[in-house]
């Protein structure tokens, strides 16, 4: 997959410059892009900070003071970047952890003070639609077979979004569901031992499968022809599966990998100690303790979607495509389009 160029050479095409901020359970990310009728072009590519905002939120339903301190530090760094790159607008989107936090007003007030924009706490369905937009906006027509199932596996939630299918609705969402499971939640709920015990893994699988069962009542996963996986867990595990010694965005983006290989690597890293994982430079230090929980969610989603496709049309899906594009890209593209339409 390659990013769409957004400016037409030699034309005075109208464009806007926007900043998108995606604040999730585990990380906060910034992107500044120029958006026009053709797509977007990055001015400041993705900046990522692992802040673990969702620390213990699944248990306490509140943001921890130290988690808030980490996200405020990241926000101040983003403010410095934004001061150097004037924009027409900023959209700050907060997702799973913020939806669950009783003290989120404190977080929203301080972010507004630092960045001059109030976080929008969006529902899982909107998060799913934006992830789908971001992932599919960079797929060249005819390269992947629709319908696509975009899987956005975050720290606190995992979105399943089915869409595409003909030329008129190539990027339209047909069905979406947000599951309240992710790398941080699964680790904090179930994987307490280092490495996790088989009983802990079995209990986590039962929890994950229960959520997938519910999601499949809304999303007809059996209609899927191409699985597109986005988010840090998916791209990290893909990088490990293809043997990268250090993370390389260009090597991972658009990589097709067999489900069999993915599940094998997921299981191996799930059962490692944290110190063993720490020896792999491919894994961001902020993901060391939770990547096993994310890998387990990813394995179960892949296996269940493949089986659903087999039951629906007689052919199991045997691979997926990893993408560096997802929610953050969708935020930028959607916001930029809305600003253009308002002019």
Dmax over CA atoms of the chain, in Å, equals: 63
Report the pLDDT averaged over residues 38-43: 94
Half-sphere exposure of 337 (CA within 13 A, CB side): 14
Q: What is the pLDDT of residues 253-282, one digit of tens each?
A: 999 999 999 999 999 999 999 999 999 999
- pLDDT at site 171: 57
pLDDT in tens, 248-260: 999 999 999 999 9
Residue entry with tokens 């590519």: 45
What pLDDT score was predicted for residue 322?
Answer: 97
Q: For residues 310 and 321, give the distance between their C-alpha atoms in angstroms, rounded to a whole number.
A: 18
User: For residue 1, is pLDDT > 70?
Assistant: no
Say if residue 7's pLDDT is above 60: no
Pull the structure tokens for residue 230.
């986005």
Each residue's pLDDT tens digit, 294-325 = 999 999 999 999 999 999 999 999 999 999 99
Which of 24, 16, 79, 1 minimizes the C-alpha distance to 232? 24
Could you tell me what percent of the chain has a pLDDT over 70? Answer: 95
Strands 148-153 and 226-230: parallel
Classified as helix, coil or strand, 277 is helix
Asked if 134 contacts 328 with a C-beta cutoff of 8 angstroms, the reply is yes
CATH number of 141-324: 3.30.420.150
Question: Domain 16-124 belongs to what topology?
Answer: Nucleotidyltransferase; domain 5 (3.30.420)
Percent of the chain surpassing pLDDT 90: 86
Q: What's the number of CA atoms in the CB half-sphere (13 Å) around residue 244? A: 19
Q: Where in the chain is the domain with CATH 3.30.420.40?
A: 16-124
Nearest to 229 by CA among 151, 158, 295: 151
Mean pLDDT, all residues of the chain: 92
What mean pLDDT comes out for the span 21-25? 94
Give 10's pLDDT tier (boundaries 50, 70, 90): very low
Asked if residue 141 has pLDDT above 90, the reply is: no
pLDDT, average across residues 149-160: 96
Cα separation of 336 and 125, whole Å?
A: 20
pLDDT of 92 strictly over 80: yes
Q: Is 33 exposed, middle or buried (0-12, 13-18, 19+ CB in 10 A)?
A: buried
Beta bridge partners of 40: 35
Q: Give the tens place of pLDDT for each residue, 205-246.
A: 999 999 999 999 999 999 999 999 999 999 999 999 999 999
What pLDDT score was predicted for residue 169? 52
Token pair listed for 234: 């998916």
Task: At 159, give phi and psi (nearest 5°).
Answer: -100, 135
CATH 3.30.420.150 residue ranges of the chain are 141-324
d(CA 195, CA 198): 10
Alpha-carbon distance 326 to 85, whole Å? Answer: 23
- pLDDT confidence of 9, banded at 50, 70, 90? very low
Tell me whether residue 83 is exposed, middle or buried, using C-beta atoms within 10 angstroms of its C-beta: 0 to 12, 13 to 18, 19 or more: exposed
Give the model's pLDDT for residue 166. 61
Which residue blocks in 89-246 are alpha helix, DSSP H?
96-100, 104-115, 124-136, 183-189, 198-216, 232-241
Q: Pick from 147, 119, 122, 121: which is nearest to 135 by CA?
A: 147
Residue closest to 287 by CA, chosen among 279, 297, 296, 277: 277
């Amino acid at each position: 997959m390659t990013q769409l160029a957004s400016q037409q050479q030699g034309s005075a095409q109208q464009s806007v410059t926007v900043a998108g901020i995606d604040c999730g359970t585990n990380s906060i990310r910034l992107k500044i892009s120029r958006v026009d009728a053709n797509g977007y072009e990055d001015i400041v590519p993705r900046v990522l900070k692992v802040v673990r905002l969702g620390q213990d939120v699944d248990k306490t339903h509140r943001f921890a003071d130290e988690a808030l301190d980490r996200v405020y530090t990241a926000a101040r760094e983003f403010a410095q970047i934004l001061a150097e790159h004037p924009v027409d607008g900023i959209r700050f989107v907060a997702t799973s952890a913020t939806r669950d936090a009783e003290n989120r007003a404190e977080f929203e007030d301080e972010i507004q003070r630092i960045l001059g924009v109030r976080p929008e706490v969006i529902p899982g369905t909107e998060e799913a639609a934006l992830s789908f937009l971001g992932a599919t906006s960079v797929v060249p027509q005819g390269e992947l077979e629709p319908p696509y199932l975009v899987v956005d596996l975050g720290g606190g939630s995992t979105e399943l979004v089915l869409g595409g299918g003909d030329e008129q609705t190539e990027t339209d969402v047909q069905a979406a569901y947000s599951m309240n499971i992710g790398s941080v939640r699964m680790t904090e709920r179930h994987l307490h031992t280092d490495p996790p015990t088989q009983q802990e893994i079995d209990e986590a699988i039962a929890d994950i499968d229960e959520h997938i069962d519910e999601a499949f009542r809304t999303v007809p996963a059996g209609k899927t022809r191409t699985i597109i996986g986005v988010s840090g867990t998916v791209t990290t595990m893909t990088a490990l599966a293809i043997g990268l010694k250090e993370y390389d965005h260009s090597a991972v983006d658009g990589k097709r990998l067999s489900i069999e290989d993915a599940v094998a690597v997921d299981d191996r890293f799930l059962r490692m100690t944290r110190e063993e994982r720490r020896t792999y430079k491919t894994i961001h230090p902020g993901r060391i303790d939770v990547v096993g929980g994310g890998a387990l969610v990813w394995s179960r989603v892949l296996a269940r979607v493949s089986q659903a496709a087999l039951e629906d049309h007689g052919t199991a899906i045997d691979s997926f495509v990893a993408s560096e594009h997802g929610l953050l890209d969708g935020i930028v593209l959607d916001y930029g389009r809305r600003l253009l339409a308002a002019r």
